[in-house]
Structure 1
Amino acid sequence: MSQNLRIVLIEDDDILRMGYESLLSDVEDFVVVNAYASYDLAKKHLEADHPDVILLDIQMPGTNGLQALPFIKKTLPNANIIILTVFDSPELVFEALTMGAGGYLTKNSSASKIIDAVREVSTGGGAMSTNVARIVMHSFQKNLNSPLTKRETEILDRIANGQTKSQIANDLFIDQETVRSHVKNIYIKLDVNSKSEAIKTAKEKRFI
């Protein structure tokens, strides 16, 4: 087995992709085998690239990162995948981790954190940004008897953090009508009539 860690980047932002490529190529035992602007461009070549570690963006044209995850794991079961994204919602974090991602970093992570994360996942460890680790810890502290579904909890959490329905819809890749439907169900389950009441009740009962 080669001593160099073989890395593939899948990131649609040209500047970021070139930045990551430059950063990782400068590390002595790393070799960036290929860098792609989307999973759809990468998929035909991944097997031949034979990467040890894949840095994968979530929001990309065509097949997004979360949709790509199961296909990558099926094609390359031994490759370690690090999600590198601007999104740090609990829903996306848990979805990515349960689908086989070995790490989850936000794009404001430092250069040293990204390099450390590549090394960590390649030896079987997990790598997370501080804010992502906090999300994971916080989820364990929630009331497990909540009547809300995971999606409803995620939406109410985002509402409590000041997000609008359109922002929530964009971030979670769903339409606004779906968000409205979830909000209606939240009000019914919590027996409340307003956003402020829903947030207050949910916080008091540790549902969010």
Structure 2
Amino acid sequence: MTRVFLCQPDHYKHVLSFFIDNTAGFKVAGACHKSVELEAQVHLTQPNLVLLDIALGNGIDMLVQMRKHAPTARVIVLTETEDPAVVLQCLALGAAGYLLVRKTTLPRLIDFIRDACEGGVPISPALVKHIVKALPPGGGPVVLSSTLTRRETEILQLMVNGQTYKAISFSLNIALDTVRSHIRNIYDKLEVHSKSEAVVKALRERVVTSY
């Protein structure tokens, strides 16, 4: 059973609660609509995943607090805020995904939650395109990309697309252990320690493009 905590506006929180509670394998562990309540409630409920709207309170600090009070919980930012710099900052701070409310249907949200719990980093496709467009022109991953093999670059692209290890294994028709081995090599070469860090660096350094 995946226990989900909601930190969302009232009007959307009720819709999410009803839908999640009526989806097999999922349960709403708790909910709030004010950032001031978030830390205590998450510490009390210890959910598997938090759907966090950073527009409700003190923004990025809310995500930082989540990592402190529920270190094992995955945190997906679900918001209307689409500033590329904010997206990259949230991912760099360990967010397990970043989704736009108006671009994410409820059935698709459940898929994204499953992906995040399985190690994926779901990002709304429109956001990746905004991030790429917002990056300074010129440069390019001449040195960085040259250190990655063709297969590693291919896997990194699929990671940016939000695919889980299992999905990458299926897409490329390779063993799951082989995927894990490639991803360890990618982490070493990019000098990162997590999937979200790898996605951020891949986009910033233009190692890959977008969806």
**TM-score for both structures, normalised by structure 1:** 0.62
1:48 counterpart letter in structure 2: L
CA contact (8 A) 1:9 1:54 kept: yes
**1:10 has 2:4 as partner:** no
Aligned-pair Cα RMSD in Å: 1.8
Aligned 8 A contact 2:39 2:69 in 1 = no
SS in 2 for 1:82: strand
Instruction: Report % sequence identity.
Output: 24
Q: Say if 2:47 is the partner of 1:39.
A: no
Cα distance between partner residues in 2 of 1:9 and 1:81: 10
**Residue number in structure 2 paired with 1:127:** 122
Measured against aligned partners, the alpha-carbon deviations of 1:54-110 in whole angstroms (never above 9, x if no partner) come to 0000111xx423111111101211110010111111111111111111100001111
Q: 1:74 aligns with which of 68, 71, 75?
A: 68
TM-score normalised by the chain length of structure 2: 0.61
Q: CA deviation at 1:140?
A: 6.2
1:48-197 maps to which residues of 2 (within 5 A)? Answer: 48-60=44-56, 63-108=57-102, 109-138=104-133, 142-144=137-139
Instruction: For residue 113 of structure 1, report the CA deviation from its aligned partner.
Output: 1.8
User: Is contact 1:56–1:65 with CA below 8 Å preserved after alignment?
Assistant: no
* 1:96-145, Cα deviation, whole Å (9 max, x unpaired): 11111110000111112211111011111101112112234445684249
Higher helix share: 2
| Contact 1:55–1:82 (8 Å) recurs in 2 | yes
Contact kept in structure 2, 1:54 and 1:80, CA below 8 Å? yes
What letter is aligned with 1:45?
Q
Q: How many residues align?
A: 139
Poorly superposed stretches of 4+, deviation over 4 Å: none
User: Tell me, which stretches of 5 or more residues in structure 1 are unaligned?
Assistant: 146-208
Q: Secondary structure at the match of 1:143?
A: coil
What secondary structure, in the 3-state scheme, does the structure 1 residue paired with 2:40 have?
A: coil
Q: Please identify the structure whose Cα radius of gyration is greater.
A: 1
Structure 1 counterpart SS, 2:111: helix
Higher relative contact order (CA closer than 8 Å, sequence separation 6+) = 2
Aligned to 2:178: none
The whole-number CA distance in structure 2 between the counterparts of 1:20 and 1:65 is 21
The corresponding residue for 1:170 is: none
Q: In the alignment, is the contact (CA less than 8 A) between 2:30 and 2:41 conserved in 1? A: no
Counterpart amino acid of residue 143 in structure 1: G
